[in-house]
Each structure stands twice: as C-alpha cells, then as structure tokens.
Structure 1
Amino acid sequence: MSNTRAIAEIGLLVYPGAQTSAVDGLTDLFSVANQIAAEQASAQLPVLRISHWRLDESGGQPLRTFDSQPGAASKLVAVLIPPSLTTLPASEVMQRLAAWVREHHAGGATVGSVCLGSFVLAEAGLLDGRKATTHWTRAKELAERYPRLKVEVDTPIVDDGDMITTAGLMAWAELGLRLVDRLMGPSIAAHTARFLMVEHMDSARECGSNFAPILSHGDAAVLKVQHWLQGNGAVDVSLSAMAERAGLEERTFLRRFRAATGLKPTEYCQHVRVGKAREMLEFTNGTVDHIAWNVGYQDPGAFRSTFKKITGLSPSDYRKRFGVSAPADKADQAAAL
C-alpha cells in the first residue's frame, strides 16, 4: 500500500543533549498513526516517513541516521526539534543546527520545537518578530538572548502556522499529534491519541483545528509571501505589497498564490488573523474588541463575522469553550443579541 500512497517525511533533529525519550516517543507516535491510517485503506492518506538527523564530525550539516522508509525519495515536510534535559549545544553547533533548520523552513517545511528546542529556531532567526514559548525556567534567557521575539511564558503552545513552539518537556506528544492532524486529518490524530492514551488539545474541538497553511507546493515566490504573512500576522498588507514581495505582477501573483495555497490572498490573510485571535482568546483576558484591533481589524463587527465564518463560533463562545476565565465582554454580548 505504501507504494501507492504519497510520502510525507518528518525529520527529527537529534542534537547533542536532546531528550532521547522524546525522539523515540515521536518515532513511535508517527508509527502508530501510520498503522491506524493503513487500516483505513485510503490512498488519500500519506505514509509518514520518520527520519533522524545528527551532526557529523566533519563540520557539515546533519545527516540522516535513521529512516523508516529507506530508499524512498522525498523531502522534509516538517522538522521537529526535541527538548533537552541538560544544557544548550555550544555556539558553533547551534549555528550549524540553525542553518540546517532555516534551509528546510525556506524550502516549505513546517518547523516545531519542544521546550529548549525553541532556542534553535531563535538562533536561525525564524522567530524574529513572532511569539514563541519555551520551558519556564529558560524563558527569561530566551527573551534576553533573542530580543526580537516575544516569549509567551504562560502559554503551553504557540501554533503559528509554519512554526509551532511548545513549553513543556512532555509536550512532544501534542506537537506530534498536531502534525498527524495536519497531514492525516483529525480522525487519525484522535485515534492515535486514544491508542497511546494521551490527551490531544484539538481532539474534542467542534470548530476545527488551527490554520495549517500548505507549504510544500514548491512555488518559492508564493512561499516567500506566506512566511512574510505569518511573520507580520497579515496586518496592514495589500495585494500590491504581496505581489511586490513575491516579485510578480499582481494578476500572476493572484493566480499562482491560489494555485499553491488553495486560497485567495484575502482569504489566506483572514485565516492567519483568525488563527492569532484564537490563540489570544485561549490564553489572554483581552476584550474581543482589543483582540480584533491587535490582529488587524479596525471594525470589531467585521472581525466577529469573519471569526464565526471560519470557526463556526463567535469569539465569546470560543473563549467560553477553550479559553481562560475572563470578565464578560459586554460589546461581544451585545453583538450576539
């Protein structure tokens, strides 16, 4: 069956000091997902190829040292950086790791980190201007060492589309399940979580998973714009600015962007903004009007309408189900009447 199904390779970066239990656990999690998917007998579901990558002694980039599908030709659709139980790698090693991660991200791979793995993403410059999380004992160090990113110390996971950072040492399970959800669908993710007897934060949601942009389409010009939009939150952007960033004429950009992502640029921007709003509704007590303004909507009514169209819930209902306790938002209550 694997010969007729697409292959989606997930690379685990095994750096010096990486937690071996997380590497092995993720390998097993994806293997279980493959077994469950195989039982569905669907050619539409990909086969997850799990590979481990380690630095060699020659000073070059990491090399594949384990491969669950040896001999198959594929490129990485995701790179995961496990946590560390000790200290961070030396500066020279960090730079080599960062260069490798940066290269694959530029090629369309989603990148994810657990605990101290976020330091590698920060070293690569991928978190500049973005929010990220890490273990609470190293949050201050991360913020001081990389001042261009914003550390969300009280947030267990920051899912920013093309990058996912998690805080806890054991958060590798949630990171793995989110990738299974993206690549194989919520049903396979839920069955995998049930088989492993672990909780999946998205498994009980009725309003769909967080926005997972298509990054493996191979259009470098479009991918450049996608990374730019994820980085700036798709706030204060225009069609002309996106086309200029891509180096394309507007009509050509529109055609290629929709072909690559499945969405019009305006629709894509809405999904990015709503994704960031969902995170703020879950982990902050800001009013809905304030969140609307923060994600780029000057009209709170338009924000509420777009949010409900995408998630199926009003912002206030979403917060009640998935967010922290917060004072009642009178404006949102009035809008719901």
Structure 2
Amino acid sequence: MRIAIIALEGSLMSAITGLADLFWMTNQALRSPPAGLPPALNRRVCNEFETLIVSADGKALRDPQGRLIPVDAGFDNVGPCDAVLVTGMGLGPDRLPPTSESLTRAARWVNVNHQQGALVGAACAGTFVLGEAGLLNSRRCTTTWWLHHVFKQRFPKALLAWGSAVEVQDRVVTTGGPLSWVDLALYVIRVFAGSDVAKLTADISVTDSLPLPQSVYAPRGFINNADPLLLETEQIIRHGKPGLTAVELAKALNVSERTLHRRVRSLTNESPKELITRIRIETACVLLQVPGASVKQVALNCGYSEDTSFRRAFIQLTGMTPADYKRWSKGRAFEDVEAGTIED
C-alpha cells in the first residue's frame, strides 16, 4: 500500500515523520508479531505499507522551526497512491493557516488523487488543504477545535462537525488536533489492513484506538461564541425549565421553529434538539467537576429525570460515562496542579 504524505512549507515535521514511523512500526509488527497474539492475527498476511514524503517539486522544505523536512518525490513523479495524507502546519502571523501557491498546488494534486480512487485524509490544519480542494463541500468533516470558527468562515459549504475527533465520508477522512495524525494513521491502517491490525498498532505504540471527542478538551461554550443567537440560546437552555423542547426554544427566542432550525443548522450543523442536548451535557461536564457532585443530582440539574437517558446522551457526546468523566477531569486537574507546582 503506497501512502503519500504531503510536505508543505511550514508543515510539522513531527507529524510527517510520525506518520511514516507508525506505518513502519506496523510493518515490523506484522513481520515479527509479539508473542501472545491471537492465532488468526499471527497468520495474517498483509501488503506492507510504503510511505513516501512528497512535495510539489520534490525538494526539501522547512518546518516552522526552520529544520529541513526530507522529501522522497514530487507530485509529478510519485506514481499511483492508495492514500494521500496531509498533516498539521504552523500558523501564519495572523494565527491562521496560511494561504499560498504551494498549498493551492497540493490541493489540486489531492483532488486528482481522490478522483483516481485514492483515500485522502488530513489532520489538524491540514484539513484546510482538503477544504481548498473542494473535497469537503457537502461532506462531514472536522478540524482542530480552536480553528473551528475560521474553518467554517473559509469553507462554508463544508459540513463541519463541532468537537468530533474523526469524520469520514466518501473516502475523505479528517481528524482534529496537532497530534491527531495518530488517529489518521490508525484509520488508514484499519481500512487497508483491518481492525485487528489497527488495534495491534495502537497497542504497540501505546495509543488509544478510539480517541475522545475534541469537545471534552475545548472550553465550555466555545462554539456558542460564534453568534449572538447561540449565546442567547445557551442562556435559555441553561436556565430554562427541564425538558425544554425545540418548539419552546423557538418561542423563547421569538422566531419560528423553521427559522430556528435553519439558523442553528447553518451555525453549528446541529438540529435544535441536538443543540439543546449538547448544551445540557456541556453544563453537566462543568457541574461534575465540582467536588462531591453526584451524577444523579447533576442529571436532574441539567433537565434529565432519567439516569439512563442522561447517561446515553453523555456517552454519545463525550465518549465516556459521567462517572468516568469525573475521574478523568479530576486526573487532569491534578496534572494542572502538578505543572503549576513545578513552574513555581
């Protein structure tokens, strides 16, 4: 399987070489599987992954720190590829992903490969290359959470999913966060070699094969800062009566239900019902971090009279149970304290 990893001026070297290393580690593990593997996996025969770092002209480029990124080939001589991947990159002086001729050329080349049947993928700010290629128009996608608003403004036709870790549609995969190239690699391995091989790679590299949604890392209410309607909606949901419906929300906002649905869909790619659920769960995440808070009381405070429905919604949006979230957030708070102690 030939995997092309695109290098642009300002690409993160760790992501490019990390991708190449993870595919190489997969090859090594399949050649000499660790002891104790299930017999079926032990006998598995897969085509090895061949990785090529490519640039527009085949010449080495500089990463954000000025180091040379090694390049194996140019767009014109790399040959057919099974997958084409774009990693994160340094931001420009305006703290936004740069627009440049090299990025435009990469976007065109990615588009050609996708038309020829290749799987294409991008991590973090690399998703802007796929957006520039037009490959995210009318497709679900994600990007790193702190670039969500900028991405939506630059590519309004993309179906951007807030806080998602991985989104896949029509042989186009996007992941969020500077280190999400790991999730991107695991998805590619899963597609071409199977779930068991992807799990093996995750195990030997000690990474999570099922990443948490980005939304658990973003500040609460971050997405709602994009528009006054969302801010007002957030206040109504947080302080409104339990069991608030989309019809009641529209009435409180003094708009028709149809208008509310259209506005919310355009702003967040959610339905009003999904928006209500998300804000309730975001509120629950804050309340669960209060020492001594019980899951049952938090559920009631957020408008859930049944533990089952609260638990189901919480897992769907955060990837963990409320009890697990309490432990996870407590561990992160401890890490922050430790870091502060060291800095002092």
Into which bin does the TM-score normalised by the smaller protein fall? 0.5 to 0.7
CA deviation after TM superposition for structure 1 residue 48, in Å: 0.5
**Are the equivalent residues in 2 in contact too, given 1:78–1:109 (CA < 8 A)?**
yes
1:66 equivalenced with 2:72 (yes/no): yes
- Taking the aligned partners of 1:320 and 1:201, their CA distance within structure 2 comes to 18
Deviations 1:207-254 (A, max 9, x none): xxxxxxxxxxxxxxxxxxxxxxxxxxxxxxxxxxxxxxxxxxxxxxxx
1:76 equivalenced with 2:81 (yes/no): yes
Counterpart position of 1:37: 30
**Are the equivalent residues in 2 in contact too, given 1:83–1:114 (CA < 8 A)?**
yes
1:17 equivalenced with 2:10 (yes/no): yes
Over 4 Å off, 4+ runs: 40-43, 284-287, 319-322
1:286-305 paired onto structure 2 within 5 Å: none
- Gapped regions of structure 1 (runs ≥ 5): 1-7, 59-63, 203-279, 288-315, 327-337
**Are the equivalent residues in 2 in contact too, given 1:13–1:80 (CA < 8 A)?**
yes
CA deviation after TM superposition for structure 1 residue 108, in Å: 0.6
Please give the secondary structure, in 2, of the residue aligned with 1:197: coil
For the pair shown, which has the larger CA radius of gyration, 1 or 2?
2
Counterpart position of 1:132: 141
Please give the secondary structure, in 2, of the residue aligned with 1:65: coil
CA deviation after TM superposition for structure 1 residue 147, in Å: 1.3
CA deviation after TM superposition for structure 1 residue 146, in Å: 1.4
CA deviation after TM superposition for structure 1 residue 167, in Å: 1.1
**Are the equivalent residues in 1 in contact too, given 2:58–2:71 (CA < 8 A)?**
no
CA deviation after TM superposition for structure 1 residue 104, in Å: 0.5
Superposed CA RMSD: 3.2
Distance 1:321 1:183, change over 3 A: farther
Please give the secondary structure, in 2, of the residue aligned with 1:323: helix
Counterpart position of 1:104: 113
- Taking the aligned partners of 1:168 and 1:38, their CA distance within structure 2 comes to 31
Counterpart position of 1:180: 189
- Taking the aligned partners of 2:150 and 2:275, their CA distance within structure 1 comes to 26
Question: Which residue of the other structure, out of 188, 192, 209, is the alignment partner of 2:201?
Answer: 192
Question: Which residue of the other structure, out of 19, 33, 36, is the alignment partner of 1:26?
Answer: 19
Question: Which residue of the other structure, out of 90, 100, 124, is the alignment partner of 1:85?
Answer: 90
Query: Percent identity over the alignment?
Result: 28
Question: Which residue of the other structure, out of 78, 87, 104, is the alignment partner of 1:95?
Answer: 104
1:47 equivalenced with 2:21 (yes/no): no
Letter in 1 for 2:46: L
CA deviation after TM superposition for structure 1 residue 42, in Å: 5.4
| Aligned pairs, number | 201
**Are the equivalent residues in 2 in contact too, given 1:285–1:324 (CA < 8 A)?**
no
TM-score (norm 2): 0.52
- Taking the aligned partners of 2:119 and 2:58, their CA distance within structure 1 comes to 27
Distance 1:49 1:325, change over 3 A: closer
Distance 1:15 1:128, change over 3 A: same
CA deviation after TM superposition for structure 1 residue 43, in Å: 7.4
- Taking the aligned partners of 1:131 and 1:325, their CA distance within structure 2 comes to 19
Letter in 2 for 1:78: A
- Taking the aligned partners of 1:136 and 1:106, their CA distance within structure 2 comes to 29
- Gapped regions of structure 2 (runs ≥ 5): 34-41, 60-69, 212-269, 278-308, 320-344
Question: Which residue of the other structure, out of 131, 145, 149, is the alignment partner of 2:154?
Answer: 145
Deviations 1:261-298 (A, max 9, x none): xxxxxxxxxxxxxxxxxxx9xxx6899xxxxxxxxxxx
CA deviation after TM superposition for structure 1 residue 86, in Å: 2.5
TM-score (norm 1): 0.53
